[in-house]
Every structure is written in structure tokens, then in C-alpha cells.
């Protein structure tokens, strides 16, 4: 399917979704958000896709929600349209792993979009921020909740209250990103990680994603029980037999998602 604001390519079971509004530093307008929701659910249902990489340009992953599009909206409009709710929930329904490959600005909704992915690999030029306070608003796609879980209350308050940007080194030190790589190597590294994931049992990868995400939704005891039962349940799969036999037989496993 052709999109106006996205470029989607699939190669070796990895889909790359590139945000493509270069004149607006990939600002998240209604069109982009709805296309992203459609693209993500299509890729989730596509058998030729086992991992998704979400990226932007070298200058900007995304500089936030589209301020020009939002500026004249009234409370009644944003409330009745439930601005950002349906499209972001579509992102969260994706069961396959999603890696955010972030270079340049990831601000406001851009930072929030990256945090909705399963992990973030960023370039050494990345800049993260939740500067909504400068516009007289608060983050609206999860920034106050997710950034706080990633980096803790003190740094999250600092970011949201001062509107300052965090560079890649600070983002890695704070646990916001999993790795920092040179800007020219960003896609190479993100694709290598995605291809590695694509080699695993899709079934198991989906259970991993659900189990880790569970830790954000429940108590430790409930989360541990969820994980233990998921671990037990995987013994009902052919992939568990194959994975463990391959180890014993000193060969590479051939997973079949069964
Ligand atoms: N919305 C709409 N347009 C945007 C935009 C945004 N969030 N960010 C950048 N642009 C546009 C600029 O208006 C400019 O367009 P024109 O050429 O037509 O003027 C173009 O992109 C290039 O931007 P700049 O000239 O500003 O580039 P710069 O290199 O000087 O600065 C920047 C880059 C620091 C990222 C700056 O563009 C900026 O501060 N952007 C806004 C960041 C922001 O406040 N994000 C939060 C948005 S609100 C939000 O996201 C709410 C939420 O949580 C849901």
C-alpha cells in the first residue's frame, strides 16, 4: 500500500517504516498518525514480517505532534475527536517486536512514539525531549507516564518542567535507549538487531514482548506468575522442542512458529 507520509519497505522479514514529512521534521499530523496505525496493523498481520523498525530522517525521528495543525483546535474538538487515542492504541495492539531507530530530534509526540516501541536504538546525534510546557500544554501521548517509568521521577520532572533536551549519552545512561551508535551506522545496527529477532520463533518473541510489557501493568507477584505460566505454556510448542534439541545436538535451531 502507498502512503503519503510514510515509506514502508519489507526485506528479509524485516519491515522498515520511515516517517516521511521532511519539511515538518516528521511532525505527527492526523494523516501521519492514521497512516501509521494502518501500516502497523497491516505489518502485524503480514506473514512476511517478523520484526518492524520505525525510523525517521537523520535530522528528526519526529519533532512532535503537528503544532500548526493543533494550534487552533478547541477543547471541544480535541475531546470529542479523542485526539491521539485511536491511532496510538493501534500501535500498542501490534504483537510483533518494534524497534525505534532514532536520529536527531525525538521531541514531544516523537519521543512518546519512540517510547511506544519495544526498544530504542539511537544515533549519537539524537535529542529527546518533552517540551510541551513551552506550548502551554502537557505531553499527550504518554510522556508523563512512560518517560517516568524509563528514567525515574526526578529526570522526568526535569524534562517535562524545563522542556530541556536530553542527548544520546544521557539517554543511554538513564535507560531510555538500549544502545547508542554512530549516526551513519544507525540503520545498519537497527536492521542487524531486527534480523536477529526475525530468526527467533515468532511465537516466543511475541510472548517475550507480552511478558516484559506486563511488568508495567501489574504487581511483581502477578507479573512473575504471568511469566511463569508463559514459560510453562511454551513447552506445548514445537519451537521449544526444536530450540532445546538443537542446543543438545549442537546445531542451529530451525523455528517454525508452531
Ligand atoms: N509541528 C509542526 N511543524 C513543525 C514542528 C512541529 N512539532 N516541528 C518543526 N516543525 C516545522 C517548522 O515549523 C519548520 O517549518 P517551516 O519551514 O514551514 O517554518 C520546519 O519544521 C523546520 O523546523 P525549524 O525551522 O524550527 O528547524 P530548527 O532546526 O530550527 O529547529 C526544532 C528544530 C528544535 C525541533 C524546532 O523545530 C522545534 O522546537 N519544534 C517543535 C518541538 C516541539 O515543541 N514538540 C512538541 C510538540 S507538541 C506535542 O508533541 C504534544 C504531544 O505530546 C501529543
Instruction: For residue range 178-187, list pLDDT tens digits in order.
Output: 999 999 999 9
Tell me the mean pLDDT in the region 4-14: 97
Question: What 3-state DSSP class applies to 187?
Answer: helix
**For ligand 1, is residue 104 a contact (CB within 6 Å)?**
no
Q: Is 206 close to ligand 1, i.e. is its CB under 6 Å away?
A: no
Structure confidence at residue 221 as a pLDDT band (50, 70, 90): very high
pLDDT value of position 233: 98
The Å distance, Cα 118 to ligand 1 centre, comes to 25
Q: How far is the C-alpha of 132 from the C-alpha of 159, rounded, in Å? A: 10
User: pLDDT averaged over the chain?
Assistant: 97
Mean pLDDT of 247-254: 97
On whether the CB atoms of residues 22 and 57 are closer than 8 A, the answer is yes
Confidence band of 89 (pLDDT split at 50, 70, 90): very high
108 lines ligand 1 (CB under 6 A): yes
Q: Tell which residue, 88, 77, 13, has the closest CA to residue 43.
A: 13
Q: What is the mean pLDDT of residues 128-133?
A: 98
Q: What pLDDT score was predicted for residue 77?
A: 97
pLDDT digits (tens, 9 = 90+) for 40-83: 999 999 999 999 999 999 999 999 999 999 999 999 999 999 99
The finding on whether 172 has its CB within 6 A of some atom of ligand 1 is: no
Q: What is the whole-number distance in angstroms between the Cα of residue 107 and the centre of ligand 1?
A: 9
- Catalogue the active-site residues: 65, 109, 112, 132
Instruction: Write out the three cell numbers for 148.
Output: 517516568
Closest CA to 34 of 59, 10, 58, 69: 69
Distance CA 75, CA 81 (A): 10
Q: Kindly report, residue by residue over 204-215, the tens digit of the pLDDT.
A: 999 999 999 999
Ligand 1 touching residue 114 (CB < 6 A): no
Predicted confidence (pLDDT) at residue 1 exceeds the cutoff of 90 = no
Taking the complete model, does pTM exceed 0.85, yes or no? yes
Q: Which atom from ligand 1 is nearest to the alpha carbon of 65?
A: 50
Share of the chain above pLDDT 90, in %: 99
Residue identifier of the C-alpha nearest atom 12 of ligand 1: 24
User: With a 6 A CB cut-off, is 191 part of the ligand 1 pocket?
Assistant: no
Ligand 1 atom with the smallest distance to the CA of 131 is 44
Q: At what angle do helices 143-151 and 109-116 cross, to 10 degrees?
A: 60
Q: Which 8-state DSSP code applies to residue 202?
A: H
128 Cβ inside 6 Å of ligand 1: no
Cα(23) to centroid of ligand 1, in Å?
A: 10
Q: Which atom of ligand 1 is closest in space to residue 139's alpha carbon?
A: 53
Q: What are phi and psi of 182, to 5 degrees?
A: -60, 145
Residue to mutate, 63, 73, 104, ligand 1, most ligand atoms under 8 Å from C-beta:
63
Amino acid at each position: 500500500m502507498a502512503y503519503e507520509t510514510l515509506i514502508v519497505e519489507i526485506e528479509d522479514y524485516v519491515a522498515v517504516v520511515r516517517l516521511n514529512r521532511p519539511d515538518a521534521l516528521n511532525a505527527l499530523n492526523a494523516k501521519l498518525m492514521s497512516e501509521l496505525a494502518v501500516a502497523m496493523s497491516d505489518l502485524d498481520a503480514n506473514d512476511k514480517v517478523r520484526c518492524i523498525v520505525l525510523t525517521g530522517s537523520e535530522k528528526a525521528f519526529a519533532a512532535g505532534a503537528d503544532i500548526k495543525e493543533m494550534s487552533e483546535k478547541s477543547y471541544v474538538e480535541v475531546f470529542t475527536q479523542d485526539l491521539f487515542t485511536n491511532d496510538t492504541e493501534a500501535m500498542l495492539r501490534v504483537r510483533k517486536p518494534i524497534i525505534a531507530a532514532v536520529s536527531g530530534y525525538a521531541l514531544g509526540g516523537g519521543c512518546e512514539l519512540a517510547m511506544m516501541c519495544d526498544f530504542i536504538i539511537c544515533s549519537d546525534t539524537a535529542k529527546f525531549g518533552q517540551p510541551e510546557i513551552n506550548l502551554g500544554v502537557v505531553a499527550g501521548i504518554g510522556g508523563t507516564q512512560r518517560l517516568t517509568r524509563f528514567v525515574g521521577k526526578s529526570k522526568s520532572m526535569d524534562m517535562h518542567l524545563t522542556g530541556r533536551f536530553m542527548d544520546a549519552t544521557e539517554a543511554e545512561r538513564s535507560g531510555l535507549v538500549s544502545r547508542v551508535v554512530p549516526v551513519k551506522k544507525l540503520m545498519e545496527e537497527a536492521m542487524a538487531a531486527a534480523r536477529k529477532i526475525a530468526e527467533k520463533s515468532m511465537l516466543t518473541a511475541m510472548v517475550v514482548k507480552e511478558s516484559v510489557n506486563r511488568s508495567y501493568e501489574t504487581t511483581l507477584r502477578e507479573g512473575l506468575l504471568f511469566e511463569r505460566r508463559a514459560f510453562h505454556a511454551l513447552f506445548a510448542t514445537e519451537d521449544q522442542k526444536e530450540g532445546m534439541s538443537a542446543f543438545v545436538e549442537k546445531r542451529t535451531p530451525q523455528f517454525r512458529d508452531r
